[in-house]
Amino acid sequence: MKHQHKWMIQVLVALILCLAMAAPSCAAEKYKLALSLAITGPTSDAGAPYSKGVEDYIRYVNDTKMFKDAVVECPIRDDQYQTDITKRNFEEFLSDGIVLYLNYSTGSTLALKKDFEEEKIPVIPASFHAGNLEDSHYIFLPIATYSSQCIGLAEYIAANNKGGTPQVAMFIHPSAFGRGPVDDLKKAIAAGLKMDMVEVVEHGKDLDNTAMLQRLLSKKVRYVICQTVQSPVATLLKDAQRLGVIAKTFGEDGKLTFVGAHYTGGNDLIELAGSAAEGFYWTTSYTLTSEPGPGTDFQLMLAKKYSRDDKTANSHNYTNGMMVAQLAVETIRRVKAKNLKVTRENLYNELNAMNGANSYSPGNTVGPVTYSPTDHAGVDTLQIYSVQKGVFKAVGKPFVPKFAK
Amino acid sequence: MTYFFQLVVSGIVVGSIYALAGLGFVLIYKSSRVLNIAHGQIIAAGAFITYALTVWLKVPLYLAFFLSMGLTFFLAMSVERVFLRRLIGEPIISVIMVTIGLMSILDGLIYLTPFGTVNYSFPEFFPKTPVDFHGVSISWTQLVGVTITFLLIALFSWFFKRSTVGISMRAVSDDQLASMSVGISVPRVFGLAWALAGMSAAAAGGIIGNITGLNFETLHAFGIIVFPVVILGGLDSIIGAVVAGIIMGLIQQFAAGYLDGHWGLNGTKDVLPYVILLIILLFKPHGLFGTHEIERV
């Protein structure tokens, strides 16, 4: 009996060893990405749909077996917009062997820049802060920087202003995210962009902007460029509507025309500001579901496939997350197409080679993604949109801001 | 001159909303000497309940507003019963730490609902055309907000001065042991203070939500923004909250109107109220109307 028992244990151990040795050859190859972002806490109204965009596209890639037996893994972790949590998440992702990292906020991207350099890992953040690219080799912005966006808006103002030099104010978030484009816009003005920067206003949690709006009008300001998030812009627009100072036509004399960069706009602004959002001008590099096309059809299909609600499906932050995942997956595909191993280094080289004939069009941007060793801002093209009858509609054709270079 | 009066009106509007939002701090502190750090979350919860009743359950706005006040009355009372009742007699710092924990719990609960990450806005109930008086304008939302604020503050002031329950709450605030000796139930008074604070927070949330839209981060930030107001007014004074709120509102508007953007100054509207707060506290450490407790040894 004792002998039989020993024999059974030996068989069991042998079986376990066989299975363990066979496991690596049976297991699907895994390409490990990771995302840390604010699903709760400040800016989670943007972070939540962004994370769903990433999650859905990665699920789609695996469900449709885009890489046959290989799978893409992309764990998503909430960092509550706190850099220390982002850093902890990033370090844990590194120990899991990720080859490409998706980050979120301006603050954490700037704080972890040195870590990205040391680890030599390509990073695609949701922050389009131009400062992310300074002294950095591994950060790749998906679309035009906030600075480019503000300069693009300023160029649009200069081109469409009637009579004299346009008087402009900036309404910005009190952080690096908000302040980033101010100096770049001032440089563009110094380089010949025809406009006067009258004032830069950093907002707080304001319940009433009457004094500020009246002051800007008294200084003959006609345009307000907003570089912040939707909520303060909504309050600003509501106050401007109450005071009757929103321009009915672009640049109307004696009134204010409000324009804003990527994170000021989208359906959330219309939701928060209601009718006061009418006539607000906004720029981004993404296509919108209110302007249907093949890219937006795919987006809506994806959202429907994974049972997302209408608000998420039509959110430009969902597009944003989806596009970043598309970009990461496309880079992996290109590396594999060259029969190379999917490593950090090969992904980095492939991203740097994404230009000219190799540029990438994900379908939901108004221009192609182009990178080079000296240019890590993805889509350079911008589209101006304005709120017309409660939805954002395209105004004019996509363009690349001349003064952004 | 119109400009000046416009700033005065805007200052009073903002200040009275600060006062209403700060009232919850005062009500709890007045009876229990506790600072409720989770007050901002209750403000946000009140706004979301009003929205859910109005938009999802199609309850008329005015009714939804009062219903949400009723619901937060019981919500805050339950919070006090579950988390804080056991801490009666414990060091104040322990109680404050519990309210910090409570803040995280309420945060987490709100993030489990759509309101945590999705922005909403109340339907536009009021006329878009503002009330205009010789060039000085005030929106209907603001006007209704200010009216409700003053009505509620008057009601609370009357309640504390004239009603038996209100007087017993003041008695508990003055001396818990003496109050118990005359038959006042201290735990019940604490529960009621939390409930009334919840009610006022819901009213503030409904009004702020109508002005700014429903964004969780914006709404719960008001719990902290109004803190200097209640410090300035005196933590245990309702009239202090009103006066300090209006002072803060006026300072902000005048700073934004006359200082910001001139002589290279910017952001004075956010800094100046704190500078003035510090100066006043140097001379009146208990705030403008706060009780100066004298301990005889």
What digits encode the pLDDT tens for the residues B189-225?
Answer: 989 999 999 999 999 999 999 888 899 988 988 888 8
Averaged over B146-159, what is the pLDDT?
88
pLDDT of residue A381: 96
CB under 8 Å to A213, separation ≥6 — which residues?
A: A236, A239, A240, A243, A245, A256
Kindly list the residues from chain A whose CB atom is less than 8 angstroms away from the CB atom of residue B213. Answer: 231, 234-235, 271-273
* Contact check, Cβ <8 Å, A48/B118: yes
% of chain B with per-residue pLDDT over 70: 98
Residue among B121, B266, B267 whose CB faces A274 most closely: B121
Considering CB atoms only, which of A214, A216, A271 is closest to B6?
A214
Q: What is the residue whose two structure tokens read 């998440």?
A: A89
Minimal Cα–Cα distance from A313 to chain B, Å?
13
Do B256 and A215 count as a contact with CB atoms less than 8 A apart? Answer: yes
Partner A contacted by B146 (CB < 8 A): no
- pLDDT score at A238: 92
Residue A8 has pLDDT above 90, yes or no: no
Given an 8 Å threshold on Cβ–Cβ distance, is A201 in contact with B139? no
Cα–Cα distance for residue pair A326/A364, rounded to 1 Å:
10
Q: What are the angstrom distances between the C-alpha of B238 and each of A173, B28, B152, B241, B292?
A: 34, 11, 11, 5, 15
DSSP letter at B134?
A: T
Question: Residue A64 corresponds to which amino acid?
Answer: T
Chain A: residue whose CA lies nearest to B13: A208
The pLDDT tens digits for A370-395 are: 999 999 999 999 999 999 999 999 99
Q: Given the cut 0.85, state whether the ipTM is greater than it.
A: no
How many contacts, defined by CB atoms under 8 Å, are there between A and B?
A: 121
pLDDT of residue B84: 84
Distance, CA of A51 to CA of A324 (rounded, Å)? 10
Is B222 in contact with A219 (Cβ distance < 8 A)? no
Q: Tell me, what's the pLDDT at A199?
A: 92
| A254 in contact with B, Cβ within 8 Å | no
- Name the strand (E) or helix (H) holding B131: strand B131-133
Q: Which two tokens stand for residue A305?
A: 């496939």
Residues A166-175, mean pLDDT to the nearest whole number: 94
Task: List all residues of chain A from 310 to 349 with a beta carbon under 8 Å from chain B.
Answer: 311
A196-210, A247-261, A298-312 — which is least confidently predicted? Answer: A196-210
For residues B239-245, average pLDDT: 91
Is A272's Cβ below 8 Å from some Cβ in B? Answer: yes
The pLDDT, as a whole number, for residue B211 is 87
CA–CA separation, A270 and A230 (whole Å): 9
Of the two residues A10 and B114, the one the predictor is more confident about is B114
Query: Which of the pair, B262 or A214, is modelled with greater confidence?
Result: A214
What residues does B214 pair with on adjacent strands? B120
**Cα nearest neighbour of B108 on chain A:** A40
Q: What per-residue confidence (pLDDT) applies to A176?
A: 86
Contact A63, A72 (CB under 8 A): no
Phi/psi at A376 (nearest 5 deg)? -110, 20
Residue of B nearest to A81 (CA): B217
pLDDT score of A25:
47
Give the tens place of pLDDT for each residue, A129-166.
Answer: 999 999 999 999 999 999 999 999 999 999 999 888 99
CATH 3.40.50.2300 residue spans of chain A: 30-144+292-374, 147-284+385-404
Residues of A in contact with B121 (CB under 8 A): 234, 271-274
pLDDT at position A17 is 61
**Cross-strand partners of A256:** A246
CA distance B117 to B91: 36
Q: Are A143 and A92 in contact (CB under 8 A)?
A: no
In this structure, of A32-46, A97-111, B254-268, the range with the lowest mean pLDDT score is B254-268
Distance in angstroms (rounded) separating the CA atoms of residues A264 and A228: 6
* Cβ neighbours of A201 in B, within 8 Å: 260-261, 266
| Averaged confidence pLDDT in chain A | 92
A47 and B CB contact within 8 Å: yes
Facing residue for A205 by CB, picked from B120, B214, B218: B218
Is residue A205 less than 8 Å (CB to CB) from chain B? Answer: yes
Contact A212 B3 (CB under 8 A): no
The residue in chain A having the minimum alpha-carbon distance to the alpha carbon of residue B254 is A211
Contacts of B206 in chain A (CB under 8 A): none
Give, in order, the Cα–Cα distances in Å from A199 to each of A186, A190, A232, B4: 11, 16, 17, 21
**Would you call A235 an interface residue with chain B, using a CB distance cutoff of 8 Å?**
yes
Closest alpha carbon within chain A to B213: A272
The answer on pLDDT for A22 being more than 60 is no
Any idea which architecture A30-144+292-374 has in CATH? 3-Layer(aba) Sandwich (3.40)
pLDDT tens for residues A249-267?
Answer: 999 999 999 999 999 999 9
Distance from CA of A402 to the nearest CA of B (A): 30
**For an interface test with B, which of A202, A207, A309 has the most B Cβ atoms less than 10 Å from its Cβ?**
A207
Residue of chain B whose Cα is closest to the Cα of A268: B119
Quote the crossing angle between the two packed helices A210-218 and B238-254, to the nearest 10°. 20
The residue in chain B having the minimum alpha-carbon distance to the alpha carbon of residue A267 is B119
Residue to mutate among B119, B212, B214, with most A CBs inside 10 A, is B119
Is some CB atom of chain B closer than 8 A to the CB atom of A212? yes
What is the β-pairing status of strands A281-284 and A382-388?
A: antiparallel
Contact status of B107 with chain A (Cβ, < 8 Å): yes
* Segment A22-45 mean pLDDT: 82
**Does position B296 have pLDDT exceeding 90, yes or no?**
no
Nearest CA to CA, how far is B100 from chain A (Å)? 16
Tell me which chain B residues have a C-beta less than 8 angstroms from the C-beta of A205: 218, 221-222, 225
Q: Which residues of B touch A242 (CB under 8 A)?
A: 130, 137-139, 142
Query: Would you say A110 and A131 are in contact if contact means Cβ atoms under 8 Å apart?
Result: yes
**8 Å CB contact between A43 and A85:** no
Which of B263-297 are b and which e, b meaning 16 or more Cβ less than 10 Å from the residue's Cβ?
Answer: eeeebbbbebbeebbeebbeeeebbbbbeeeeeee
For the segment B82-120, what is each residue's pLDDT rounded down to a tens digit?
Answer: 888 888 777 888 888 899 999 999 999 999 999 988 889
C-alpha angle with apex B129: B124 to B132, nearest 5 degrees? 135
Strand A377-379 and strand A382-388: the pairing is: unpaired
Give a three-class secondary structure readout of A343-366: CHHHHHHHHHCCCHHHCECCCCEC
Answer yes or no: are the C-beta atoms of A189 and A165 closer than 8 Å.
no
- pLDDT tens digit sequence for B7-22: 999 999 999 999 999 9
For chain B, the first-to-last Cα distance in angstroms comes to 55
Cβ atoms of residues B72 and B36 within 8 Å: no
User: How far apart (Å, rounded) are the C-alpha atoms in residues B208 and B218?
Assistant: 9
State residue B75 phi and psi, 5-degree precision: -60, -50
Contacts of A102 (CB under 8 A, 6+ apart): A33, A34, A35, A36, A37, A54, A74, A123, A124, A125, A126, A324, A325, A328
Domain boundaries, chain B: 13-223
Of A201-205, A256-260, A306-310, where does mean pLDDT reach its minimum?
A: A201-205
Nearest to A172 by CA among A158, A157, A188, A183: A183
Sign of torsion over alpha carbons A217, A220, A224, A225: negative
Mean pLDDT, all residues of chain B: 88
Q: Kindly report the nearest CA distance between residue B157 and chain A, in angstroms.
A: 25
* Three-state SS annotation for chain A: CHHHHHHHHHHHHHHHHHHHHHHHHHCCCEEEEEEEECCCCCCHHHHHHHHHHHHHHHHHHHHCCCCCCCEEECCEEECCCCHHHHHHHHHHHHHCCCCEEECCCHHHHHHCHHHHHHHCCCEECCCCCHHHHCCCCCECEEECCHHHHHHHHHHHHHHHCCCCCCEEEEEECCCHHHHHHHHHHHHHHHCCCCCEEEEEEECCCCCCCHHHHHHHHHCCCCEEEEECCHHHHHHHHHHHHHHCCECCCCCCCCCEEEEECHHHCCHHHHHHHHHHHCCCEEEECECCCCCCCHHHHHHHHHHHHCCCCHHHHCCHHHHHHHHHHHHHHHHHHHHHHCCCCCCHHHHHHHHHCCCHHHCECCCCECCCECCECCECEEECCEEEEEEECCEEEEEEEEECCHHHC
A43 touches chain B (CB under 8 A): yes
Check whether A18 has a pLDDT greater than 60: no
The closest CB to that of A207, out of B138, B211, B260, belongs to: B211
Question: With an 8 Å Cβ cutoff, are B256 and A211 in contact?
Answer: yes
Class of domain A147-284+385-404: alpha beta
Query: Do B119 and A231 lie within an 8 Å CB cutoff?
Result: yes
